[in-house]
């Protein structure tokens, strides 16, 4: 079983990357194969990311998934095929044990990071629990979410910064939060792509600023983040979820190469 120490014991940052949602087996395997090739080359520990279901949608007709069990089995196949850990998000406490049968890391969505029952259920699986910071919370307030998982008997915790609500349809990143949350004693991840969302657009479809992906990522590495979270897709324009702020897969290697150089420089 993977541990937090496995991800942070080296000199490099680690990466959580993949599509927003599992759209099908071929796509998931293709993305994973490409990212594995890149991260092996650059010496970056890698966790494949994919949501088995999207519960937080602006409109009722938005794509939510291909079926829970089908998507979870695809995540499991990605892990066994490439020998890599996988992560998916859960939305209700009853989902924790189910998802834990298929993946190595359980992710708590930002809007749900204060849900005590959900945090405890995730903790009790024994899996790593990655808690996304609520867009409505200060970095310091995340200590209470972390403590719930630890008090439930699971010290395998990570925290993800994903921007803070600013106005009605935008987010900002306060990089002071990264070292502040690292003081809790757990790794901090920068969610690069979700931090560039422009939620609650009048169309009911979330917008984004993907042209700033490199800016957000470079700044996060420069201030010493432990890991990066990047949603990527071969063709973001046709992705079934969050295409407006995803990184085109062909651009990933160049970006990570430049980020490794920054990491080396600050070390």
The ranges assigned to domains in the chain are 4-266
**What gap in Å lies between CA 256 and CA 190, rounded to an integer?**
14
Q: What is the dihedral of CA 221, 222, 226, 232, to 10 degrees?
A: -10
DSSP string, 37-50: HHHHHHT--EEEE-
- Is a pLDDT exceeding 60 seen at residue 107? yes
**What gap in Å lies between CA 138 and CA 174, rounded to an integer?**
10
pLDDT tens sequence across 63-96? 677 999 999 999 999 999 999 999 999 999 999 9
Which helix (DSSP H) or strand (DSSP E) does residue 105 occupy? strand 105-108
Could you say which DSSP state residue 205 is in?
Answer: S
CB atoms within 10 A of CB 258: 14
Give the helix ranges, DSSP H, for the chain: 4-8, 25-42, 68-82, 94-100, 116-124, 142-151, 177-182, 213-222, 252-266
pLDDT value for 239: 83
- Is a pLDDT exceeding 80 seen at residue 97? yes
Architecture of domain 4-266: Alpha-Beta Barrel (3.20)
pLDDT tens sequence across 148-201? 999 999 999 999 999 999 988 889 999 999 999 999 999 999 999 999 988 766
Quote the mean pLDDT of the chain.
93
Predicted structure pTM score: 0.94
Q: Is the Cβ–Cβ distance between 100 and 121 less than 8 Å?
A: no
Tokens of 14: 């680690």
Name residue 102's beta-bridge partners. none
Tokens of 1: 């079983």
């Amino acid at each position: 079983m993977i541990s937090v120490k496995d991800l942070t014991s080296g000199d490099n940052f680690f990466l959580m990357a993949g599509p927003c949602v599992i759209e099908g087996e071929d796509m998931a395997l293709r993305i994973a194969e490409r990212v594995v090739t890149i991260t092996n080359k650059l010496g970056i520990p890698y966790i494949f990311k994919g949501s088995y279901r999207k519960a937080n949608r602006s409109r009722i007709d938005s794509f939510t998934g291909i079926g829970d069990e089908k998507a979870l089995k695809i995540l499991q196949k990605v892990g066994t095929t490439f020998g890599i850990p996988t992560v998916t998000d859960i939305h209700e406490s009853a989902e924790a044990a189910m998802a834990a049968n298929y993946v190595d890391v359980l992710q708590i969505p930002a809007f749900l990071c204060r849900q005590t029952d959900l945090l405890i259920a995730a903790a009790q699986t024994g899996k790593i629990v990655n808690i996304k910071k609520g867009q409505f919370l200060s970095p310091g307030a995340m200590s209470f979410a972390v403590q719930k998982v630890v008090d439930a008997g699971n010290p395998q915790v990570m925290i993800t910064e994903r921007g803070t609500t600013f106005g009605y349809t935008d987010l900002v990143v306060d990089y002071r939060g990264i070292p502040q949350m690292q003081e809790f004693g757990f790794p901090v991840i920068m969610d690069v792509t979700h931090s560039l969302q422009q939620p609650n657009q009048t169309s009911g479809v979330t917008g984004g600023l993907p042209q700033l992906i490199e800016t957000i990522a470079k700044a996060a590495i420069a201030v010493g983040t432990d890991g990066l979270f990047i949603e990527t897709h071969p063709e973001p324009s046709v992705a079934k979820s969050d295409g407006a702020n995803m990184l085109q897969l062909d651009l990933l290697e160049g970006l990570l190469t430049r980020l490794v150089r920054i990491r080396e420089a600050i070390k």
